[in-house]
């Protein structure tokens, strides 16, 4: 893509195959409390940042735990998986390195938490490749709003139209496009129900990073 100076990546479902972790956490957390995991619940929390998702869960099910307690429970449930088992998507690491060599700045815009993110980056050899890592909690808005992408672009010192955003969720793709960013949708099976909409909205759709890696190496 011409005139692109920076690539902004989502983390979960885009760079790493981690969505199974949250399906597992949701199932175990709610089932222990006698609550079924519904499609409506999953849809509602998918683009929320961590604290908002915890607050929503507490309110929706009238849980006795505080929002902070819920977040801590979730973090402890997910930490071992992220630190030891979650793996980068195929060719993702090679592609990040190729972009870096070609002079493209790298930013991350994620709804995750540093406690989970950092050990996973280190375990997958991704640590240190990004020029900035930004969290939705910093802007106080989920990915249905473009603030996180604009904020990341500002941190990188580039204009939105000089960025390409790699995302796996439709909310993020729509938001990034709304501020003039190019978008590449990355396939993740957790979004199969939204795949036609994702393909329709994104500027490009890839099943893995092999194709864009080859293009970058030409």
Would you write out the chain's pLDDT as a tens digit for each of its 218 residues? 668 999 999 999 999 999 899 889 999 999 999 999 998 898 888 778 788 899 999 999 999 999 999 999 999 999 999 999 999 999 999 999 999 999 999 999 999 989 999 999 999 999 999 999 999 989 999 899 999 999 999 999 999 999 999 999 999 999 999 999 999 999 999 899 899 999 999 999 999 999 899 887 66
CA angle, 98 then 101 then 102, to 5°: 85
Same domain membership, residue 148 and residue 52: no
This prediction has a pTM of 0.89
Same domain membership, residue 210 and residue 150: yes
CB 12 within 8 A of CB 89: no
Lookup result for tokens 């090679």: 94
**Chosen domain end from 85, 117, 138:** 85
Same domain membership, residue 98 and residue 36: no
Same domain membership, residue 205 and residue 98: yes
Owning domain of residue 75: 19-85
**Chosen domain end from 45, 69, 85:** 85
Question: Mapped to the 3 state alphabet, what secondary structure does 70-81 carry?
Answer: HHHHHHHHHHHH
């Amino acid at each position: 893509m011409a005139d692109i100076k920076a690539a902004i990546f989502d983390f979960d479902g885009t760079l790493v195959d981690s969505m199974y972790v949250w399906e597992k956490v949701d199932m175990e957390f709610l089932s222990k409390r006698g609550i079924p995991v519904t499609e409506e619940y999953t849809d509602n929390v998918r683009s929320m940042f961590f604290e908002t998702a915890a607050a929503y869960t507490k309110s929706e099910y009238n849980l006795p735990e505080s929002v902070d307690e819920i977040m801590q429970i979730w973090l402890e449930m997910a930490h071992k998986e992220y630190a030891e088992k979650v793996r980068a998507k195929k060719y993702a690491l090679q592609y990040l390195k190729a972009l870096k060599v070609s002079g493209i700045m790298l930013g991350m815009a994620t709804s995750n938490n540093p406690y989970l993110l950092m050990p996973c980056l280190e375990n997958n050899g991704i640590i240190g490749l990004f020029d900035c890592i930004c969290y939705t909690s910093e802007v106080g808005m989920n990915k249905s709003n473009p603030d996180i992408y604009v904020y990341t672009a500002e941190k990188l010192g580039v204009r939105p139209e000089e960025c390409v955003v790699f995302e796996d969720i439709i909310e993020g793709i729509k938001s990034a496009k709304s501020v003039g960013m190019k978008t590449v949708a990355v396939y993740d099976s957790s979004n199969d129900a939204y795949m036609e909409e994702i393909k329709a909205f994104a500027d490009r759709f890839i099943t893995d990073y092999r194709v864009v890696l080859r293009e970058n190496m030409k």
